[in-house]
Structure 1
Amino acid sequence: MKVDLFDFELPPERIALRPAQPRDAARMLVVRGNKPFEDRGVRDLPQLLRAGDVLVFNDTRVIPAQLEGRRGDAKIGATLHKRIDLRRWQAFVRNAKRLRAGDVAEFGGGVTAFAEQRLPDGSFVLAFEGEEPVELLLERAGRMPLPPYIAGKRATDERDRQDYQTMFAARDGAVAAPTAALHFTPDLIEALDAAGIRRELLTLHVGAGTFLPVKAEDTDDHAMHSEWGRIEPEVAARLNAAKMAGGRLIAVGTTSLRLLESATGMDGVVREFSGDTDIFITPGYRFRAVDGLMTNFHLPKSTLMMLVSALMGRERMLTAYEHAISNDYRFYSYGDSSLLLP
């Protein structure tokens, strides 16, 4: 399909630079099949779902993966986006023409990395020097990797270390937050529990590739970056049991959805999963696992706009986005939410 089919105009003032306070005070647009849109709030979620439904969250934790440093006299920036092993990461490098394989980059705080090789996509393999865990080095020298549509409008600050982390964050490795879950609070979870709505956790370490624009003119020519994920066998078993009992699996965020779909066979059975996935979901895809999706509003011509169009229909989602824009919904990572129920 032509990428231009997923384009829309978004006024810059609709981009949220800070999350709602408290988090569950965000608005939520409910899209049910072809029924009229419902302007609701995230706090309405217990009334919008049914007892026995399962919300599936991503428990990845965002690491401060944005580094600023030098190679000799040249300034460079690095955004880590995928772990290779204990000391090596793939990274997108700003001012990459000043970095060559074999160079050493200095990022301050005694943090240095050896540029092992340049990959075909232009990114680098960086090997961090020393014996300290890389996570400790990043805590010392790194910044939270805010998306470019936020970082381009304001500086990252200490508040982002909390704001850009979900209440479920437990496993280090993401360089972008699973932002749909940013809306959840202990009070909301308590209300969901009281309504008989269950929850499960999986892990997908979100990479910076999620922010890359689709440069191809046709979706067939776009290559997705892979990300590492895991679904524990007992989690898969409970998800299958919930579906057998008539419950719906509602993915909280496109990251949860993509891993669920990667782990599910054509028979609709969710299986244990551990490894990389580069699943690219576009209209025409037949969903195997999920029955709905809670997600924020996505960028035009993005892979995630294609994903929600696959779930609900392209024209339906473009109309929903028009409604959201005209009704002052806040967009992107720190913005409002939507609940998509085919």
Structure 2
Amino acid sequence: MFKLSDFDFDLPAELIAQTVLPERSASRLLEVDNLAQPPRLVDRRFAELPGCLAPGDLLVFNDTRVLKARFFGQKASGGKIEVLVERLTGARTALAQIRASKSPAPGTTLRLADAFDVTVGERVEPFYTLHFPDDCLTLIEQYGRLPLPPYITHDADATDETRYQTVFARNPGAVAAPTAGLHFDDALLARLDERGIERATLTLHVGAGTFQPVRVENIAEHQMHSEWYELPQSLVDRIAATRARGGRVVAVGTTSMRALEAAARDAENAGRPLAATAAETDIFITPGYRFRVVDRLVTNFHLPKSTLLMLVSAFAGMETIRAAYRHAIDERYRFFSYGDAMLLCRQEQAL
């Protein structure tokens, strides 16, 4: 039985990256060979990633695009509000978090960005339904603000609007970036292609719940937020071809990992092979989880006591991750969304 305190560590505040580096692939990469005994830690540059992989491996990216989902506004009474759109539910409807001095009742009109009005609909805990006067996506992209993570202390600027998106972002719907993908630029992708490392995409729209703290000491009692994902048939076929040639499936980020493992787990439970899927998932991966698809993982460094730290501990092993994080802190790696990355190997039944 794992406790929340098992996933705590002390992180110097100055290691929380607040800004991006001039070049995406200039970040650092900690290669963690957790199949060696003892585990081997190698300090690299992210641009060296192609040399850490083999021809025939398959990188799986999340092609979600971050919405300009944050709005400031006011009630008809003049009271100030802050709105964070969580997901689009229709052409003119969305679920959102609302911060206000008093919860708005259904039928309340809210003025957003001093540009347009929305009407509050039914409550879908912990969110509110919002009815927009026109196409949601158009209004969000025109008037909204990019929602940077809560540990980044500056307001989003023009640099963030470019760099808090991956270069392969295609499908709008996320409120947080799949940050492991932020390290890839066009030149690095070209080098991966030249080495014979294949690429494929899925979509998982990252929700604000990715920053939700775990508030229970017994982590088995934690309720994960739900996120929408889609695995196309082309990806399913690429995974099968990778397996057939003896290649490895490499998830770029925990969001790609969650989508792949959720689809594979649900397929196995239904007694069928992995297939194209579009569904919601609240999969919670903790130590003891049996991985079905992913062999290696590219990921950033995660918050103490977070569900993502639990996920990487499940994948690579508790002691391996503790050693890797101690090393990263000692070597002054940059942490969280704008920080550096790790490359991990799957350790079966890692504990």
SS of 1:115 mapped into structure 2: strand
Q: Greater shift after overlay, 277-286 or 28-37?
A: 28-37
State the alpha-carbon separation in 1 of the partners of residues 299 and 275 from structure 2: 23
How far is the alpha carbon of 1:237 from its aligned partner?
1.1
Please say if 1:239 is aligned against 2:239. yes
Q: Which of 80, 86, 90 is the aligned partner of 2:85?
A: 80
Distance 2:154 2:113 in 1: 22
Any stretches of 5+ residues in structure 2 without a counterpart?
347-351
- Once residues 96 and 247 of structure 1 are traced to their aligned partners in structure 2, the CA distance between those partners, rounded to angstroms, is 54
Does structure 2 conserve the Cα–Cα contact (< 8 Å) formed by 1:268 and 1:288? no
Cα separation, 1, equivalents of 2:154 and 2:203: 30
Taking the aligned partners of 2:24 and 2:115, their CA distance within structure 1 comes to: 36
Which of 49, 56, 68 in structure 1 is aligned with 2:53? 49
Report the equivalent of 2:299. 295
Deviations 1:304-337 (A, max 9, x none): 0000000011222122111101101000001001
Moved more, 180-189 or 29-38: 29-38
Q: After superposition, what is the alpha-carbon deviation per residue over 1:268-313, rounded to whole angstroms, capped at 9, x for unaligned?
A: 9532111111111011100000001000000011110000000011
Alignment partner, residue 274 of structure 2:
270
CA contact (8 A) 1:118 1:124 kept: yes
Contact 1:270 1:289 in 2 (8 A): no
- 1:309 matched residue in structure 2: 313
**Mapping 1:121-270, distance limit 5 Å:** 121=126, 123-128=127-132, 130-131=133-134, 133-150=135-152, 153-264=153-264, 265-266=267-268, 269-270=273-274
* Residues 37, 64 of structure 1: alpha-carbon distance in 2 compared, 3 angstrom cutoff: same
Q: 2:33 is matched with which residue? A: 32
Per the alignment, residue 323 of structure 1 pairs with: 327
Please name the residue that 1:94 is paired with: 99
Larger mean CA deviation between 176-185 and 99-108 belongs to 99-108
Task: State percent identity of aligned pairs.
Answer: 46
Separation in 1, partners of 2:290, 2:166: 29
- 1:187 deviation in Å? 0.9
Deviates more, 1:291-300 or 1:28-37: 28-37
Which position in structure 1 is the counterpart of 2:343? 339
2:113 aligned residue: 108
Looking at structure 1, the residues matched to 69 and 192 of structure 2 have their Cα atoms a distance apart, in angstroms, of 33
Task: Answer yes or no: is the 8 Å Cα contact 2:181–2:253 preserved in 1.
Answer: yes
Give secondary structure in 2 for the equivalent of 1:92. Answer: strand
Q: Considering only aligned residues, what root-mean-square deviation do their CA atoms show, in Å?
A: 1.5
> 1:143, 1:206 → 2: CA distance?
17
Distance in 2 of aligned mates of 1:320 and 1:163: 26
- CA distance in 2 between counterparts of 1:283 and 1:22 reads 35
Deviations 1:195-249 (A, max 9, x none): 1111001111111110111112221111111111111112211111111210100
Question: Which of 49, 53, 58 matches 2:62?
Answer: 58
Shift of 1:138: 1.1
| Matching residue's letter, 2:232 | E
Q: Label 1:96 to 1:117 Cα distance change in 2 as closer, same or farther (>3 A).
A: farther
Unpaired runs of at least 5, structure 1: none
Distance 1:225 1:274 in 2: 17
Are the aligned partners of 1:111 and 1:141 in contact in 2 as well (CA < 8 Å)? no
Structure-1 separation of matches of 2:74 and 2:142: 16
Give the AA of the match of 1:302: S
Q: Deviations over 1:25-81 (max 9, x none)?
A: 000011111422111111111110001000000111111001111112111101111
Is the CA contact 2:50–2:195 (under 8 Å) kept in the aligned structure 1? yes
Is contact 1:268-1:289 (8 Å) kept?
no
Q: Is the 8 A contact 2:73 2:110 kept in 1?
A: yes
Q: Which residue of 2 aligns with 1:14?
A: 15
Counterpart Cα distance in 1 of 2:95 and 2:27: 34
> 1:269 & 1:340 partners in 2: Cα distance?
26
1:117 Cα deviation from its structure 2 partner: 2.4
- Alignment partner of 1:148: what SS? coil
Cα offset, 1:109, TM superposition = 4.5
Name the SS for the 1:97 alignment partner: coil
The answer on whether the counterparts of 1:109 and 1:140 sit within 8 Å (CA) in structure 2 is no
